[in-house]
């Protein structure tokens, strides 16, 4: 493929390519990428950036990893894709088996999806059809907590925060759900039962029509980058069981080690009825997600009117994605990833703490390989994004949040470059 001159490439992009969360034509700066390797992105203009975003939290082992590349090459020689309806293949079966081994024991069945948003759609649809199969169609609403984010498709948007979230413009056309107050006790805070009072009251008053509760355990991602007490997750599980409501946990952002545990629900020592995973599943190689559930739930569908689960993505169980995911999981378990996360966490705490006294800063918080600097006011992306690039790092702030979720393989010097850039840019606000 012939390459375009840089100026022409940027101009064509601005005129015709619609980027996420952007207007048309796009007024925000874009930075054309030539290649990526390890934890670095090389721009077309020759500059190299240390990636502090893991490409939206997916590339946990960086870019162009030889083991993932090799897995993809070997699989593509066999087949890149084959339909999953009526057919199966070794990569999908082996990946399902591996996911069952890694996730909490009651989760025994795996439904493959195309993306994180779709895995949430599948989970919600699964919960509704489960209750229909049991003769309880009135259980079709969902309970969630404010400041949450679960994706950009319609059912997923309905359980995102309707006021403070990114989808408030759609709230009048989305299915109405129940929203509990966001947890206020921090990750290591002292538990107080009143923190879950709102969640409990909604179950008490509306449990007969709630199919499932859905939330992100311990770490709320794009809804605010908030870390909260694992005890909230434990108590929510108990309350759901008491009110005959399923529990869906969204681990799309936290799965595969990001919070310091393989899955964030491990901090609470509980298991969900349905689990959503994605993002880091393939190590950022390509899109794949999955929805896992228990044998009791999945086998209920045969009793209902349809007799089957009424969902089937065209690219479900893509062999190429499954093969790379298997190798990505093997790669994660080939080294002491928990120590690597612990080292990142310690350095983030040390490197970001000086930001706490800056006038623009409201809070600084770190958990696992997640570092957050919360500001008093939203950033101006037209100004801030180029400043980070000038500092030699790639970060993508949003709203009042400047944060980093770096690859697990990042070195101390590279991580220092990220935290130093955050301090320099934020101190100038």
The one catalytic residue among 63, 149, 178, 423:
149
CA distance between the termini of the chain: 42
Decide if 173 contacts 157 (C-beta within 8 A).
Answer: no
The one catalytic residue among 139, 237, 261, 279:
279
Alpha-carbon distance of 231 to 235, in angstroms, equals: 6
Catalytic site includes residue 279: yes
Q: Tokens 């007490």 map to which residue?
A: 229
CA atoms in the 13 A half-sphere facing the CB of 257 = 27
The single-letter DSSP state of residue 63 is B
Burial, 268: exposed, middle or buried (Cβ in 10 Å; 0-12, 13-18, 19+)? buried
Alpha-carbon distance of 232 to 91, in angstroms, equals: 37
Alpha-carbon distance of 59 to 65, in angstroms, equals: 10
The one catalytic residue among 11, 21, 335, 336:
21
How many other C-beta atoms lie within 10 A of the C-beta of residue 397?
21
- Containing H/E element for 143? strand 141-145
The one catalytic residue among 152, 250, 403, 423:
250
The DSSP result for 340-394, as a single string, is HHHHHHHHHHHHHGGGGGSTTEEEEEEETTEEEEEESS---HHHHHHHHHHTTEE
237-250 in b/e burial notation, b at 16+ Cβ within 10 A? Answer: bebbeebebbbbbb
Number of DSSP helices (H) and strands (E) in the chain, helices first:
13, 16
Catalytic site includes residue 408: no
Alpha-carbon distance of 256 to 102, in angstroms, equals: 9
Catalytic site includes residue 250: yes
Q: Tokens 């009251």 map to which residue?
A: 201
Alpha-carbon distance of 168 to 176, in angstroms, equals: 12
Return the ∠ at Cα 21 (arms to 16 and 24), rounded to 5°: 30
Catalytic site includes residue 139: no
* Residues annotated as catalytic (active site), given as ranges: 21, 149, 250, 279
């Amino acid at each position: 493929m012939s390459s375009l001159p840089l100026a022409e490439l940027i101009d064509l992009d601005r005129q015709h390519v619609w980027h996420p969360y952007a207007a048309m034509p796009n007024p925000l700066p874009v930075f054309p990428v030539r290649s990526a390797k390890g934890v670095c992105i090389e721009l077309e203009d020759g500059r190299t950036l240390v990636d502090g975003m893991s490409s939206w939290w997916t590339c946990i082992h960086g870019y162009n990893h030889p083991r993932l590349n090799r897995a993809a090459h070997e699989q593509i020689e066999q087949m890149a894709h084959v339909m999953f309806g009526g057919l199966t293949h070794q990569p999908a079966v082996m990946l399902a088996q591996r996911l069952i081994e890694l996730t909490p024991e009651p989760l025994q069945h795996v439904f493959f999806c195309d993306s994180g948003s779709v895995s949430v759609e599948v989970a919600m649809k699964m919960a509704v059809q489960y209750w229909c199969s049991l003769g309880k169609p009135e259980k079709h609403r969902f309970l969630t907590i404010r400041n949450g984010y679960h994706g950009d498709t319609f059912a997923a948007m309905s359980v995102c925060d309707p006021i403070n979230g990114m989808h408030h413009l759609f709230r009048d056309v989305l299915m109405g759900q129940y929203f509990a107050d966001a947890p206020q006790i921090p990750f290591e805070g002292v538990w107080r039962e009143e923190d879950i009072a709102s969640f409990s009251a909604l179950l008490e008053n509306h449990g007969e029509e709630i199919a499932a509760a859905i939330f992100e355990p311990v770490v709320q991602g794009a809804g605010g980058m908030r870390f909260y007490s694992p005890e909230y997750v434990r108590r929510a599980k108990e309350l759901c069981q008491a009110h005959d409501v399923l529990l869906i946990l969204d681990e799309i952002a936290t799965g595969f080690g990001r919070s310091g545990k393989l899955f964030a629900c491990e901090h609470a020592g509980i298991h969900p009825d349905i689990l959503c995973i994605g993002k880091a599943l393939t190590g950022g190689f390509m899109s794949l997600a999955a929805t896992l559930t228990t044998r009791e739930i999945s086998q209920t569908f045969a009793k209902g009117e349809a007799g089957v689960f009424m969902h089937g993505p065209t690219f479900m169980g893509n062999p190429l994605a499954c093969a790379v995911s298997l190798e990505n999981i093997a790669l994660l378990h080939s080294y002491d990833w928990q120590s690597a996360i612990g080292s990142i966490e310690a350095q983030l705490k040390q490197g970001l703490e000086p930001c706490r006294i800056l006038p623009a800063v409201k809070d600084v918080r770190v958990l696992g390989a997640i570092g957050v600097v919360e500001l008093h006011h939203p950033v101006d992306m037209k100004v801030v994004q180029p400043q980070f690039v000038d500092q030699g790092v790639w970060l993508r702030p949003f709203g009042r949040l400047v944060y980093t979720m770096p690859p697990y393989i990042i070195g101390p010097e590279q991580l220092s470059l990220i935290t130093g850039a955050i301090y320099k840019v934020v101190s100038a606000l």
